[in-house]
A = this chain, B = another copy of it.
Amino acid sequence: MILTVTPNPALDVTWHVDRLRVGDTHRADAGAVRAGGKGLNVARVAHAEGAAVRAITTAGGRTGEEFAEELGRSGVPHALVRVGQDTRRSIAIVDEALGDTTVINERGLTPSDQEWADLLAAVVDALPSARVLVISGSLPPGAPDGFVPLLIAVAKDAGLPVIVDTSGPALLRAADAGASVLKPNRAELAEATGILDPLDGARALIERGAELVLLSLGAVGMLAVTASGLVHARLDQPLSGNPTGAGDAAVAACAVLYAEGERDPEVILRRATAWSAAAVLMPLAGDISPQWPAIAARLRVSHPDSDSVRKDLS
């Protein structure tokens, strides 16, 4: 079973307007509601592709009730830790003419010490039946510095690999704690490490203790960086669509393969890149196109040296 933890979930509410103009008044149908958060997207994708999953997150207040209802309808196995504060909202306004999406993420509120302990306990309870732990997304304000390292430690003690997709100082702490896989994009990597060169940044995470860095590069595909080498995968032609959730689909691919015992960076990179591209074709984060095997067949995979990668990325 793939166990995902989402420390900072959000109730996603999406409205569609013909054309979004700042300062104007628009009419729209009722907003569509979805239980959001990167770990939930990972669980949705893996579940839809037939993997056993369990998504653990928090829910509180009236938005938490809506969140729990929608997650219940989704059929994704999950456990919700009740918290006192309202689950935050993430609102999205889709401009139908241009296809642009404007997003406002509420910052979220700080869980209590007891709530952090409850979330940790929910993960610990689920570890015995898990094959891999996925920690995804931002942390709420006021999160204890030691939370992500503690989750990694308990999973490693149970013999499980840990995949972490987060940003900021938590990304460095995850590397220090020996996360198996990290999946930053270029901006997150540069911001967390302070290193502008993406290869040097990825290698800094490996030196700190990570096994594999999956560096997502948008239209340029994805790079797998390990202590022993590089693999680069990209599509023959980039796809246009909705990039939200593409990184989560990559993490889902990685988690499914890790749960099956697969550790070959190239195999993981191929699946992660294909699922990521297949997510771009879908309107909602957490879904991938069933056409992904055809996309996988269009991948160009190479084992480049550092200089040619740097040239590609510059």
**Which B residue's beta carbon lies closest to that of A86?**
B30
Q: Are A88 and B30 in contact (CB under 8 A)?
A: yes
Q: Are B15 and A104 in contact (CB under 8 A)?
A: yes
A14-42 residues at the B interface, CB under 8 angstroms: 15, 17, 20-31
Q: Are B31 and A103 in contact (CB under 8 A)?
A: no
User: Smallest distance from the beta carbon of A33 to chain B beta carbons, Å?
Assistant: 10
Contacts of A100 in B (CB 8 A): 22-23
| A62 interface residue (CB < 8 Å to B) | yes
Q: Are A105 and B26 in contact (CB under 8 A)?
A: yes
Q: Are B24 and A103 in contact (CB under 8 A)?
A: yes
| A89 interface residue (CB < 8 Å to B) | yes
In the assembled complex, the Cα of A91 lies from the Cα of B95 at a distance in Å of 15
Q: Are B15 and A107 in contact (CB under 8 A)?
A: no
Contacts of A22 in B (CB 8 A): 20-22, 95, 98, 100, 102
In the assembled complex, the Cα of A76 lies from the Cα of B31 at a distance in Å of 28
Q: Are A23 and B102 in contact (CB under 8 A)?
A: yes
In the assembled complex, the Cα of A95 lies from the Cα of B54 at a distance in Å of 39
| A101 interface residue (CB < 8 Å to B) | yes
Q: Are B23 and A107 in contact (CB under 8 A)?
A: no
A144-196 residues at the B interface, CB under 8 angstroms: none
Q: Are B26 and A104 in contact (CB under 8 A)?
A: yes
Q: Are B91 and A91 in contact (CB under 8 A)?
A: yes
**Which B residue's beta carbon lies closest to that of A66?**
B62
A89 touches which of B23, B31, B106, B107 (Cβ 8 Å): B31
| A250 interface residue (CB < 8 Å to B) | no
| A65 interface residue (CB < 8 Å to B) | yes
In the assembled complex, the Cα of A86 lies from the Cα of B109 at a distance in Å of 26
A105 touches which of B21, B23, B25, B103 (Cβ 8 Å): B25
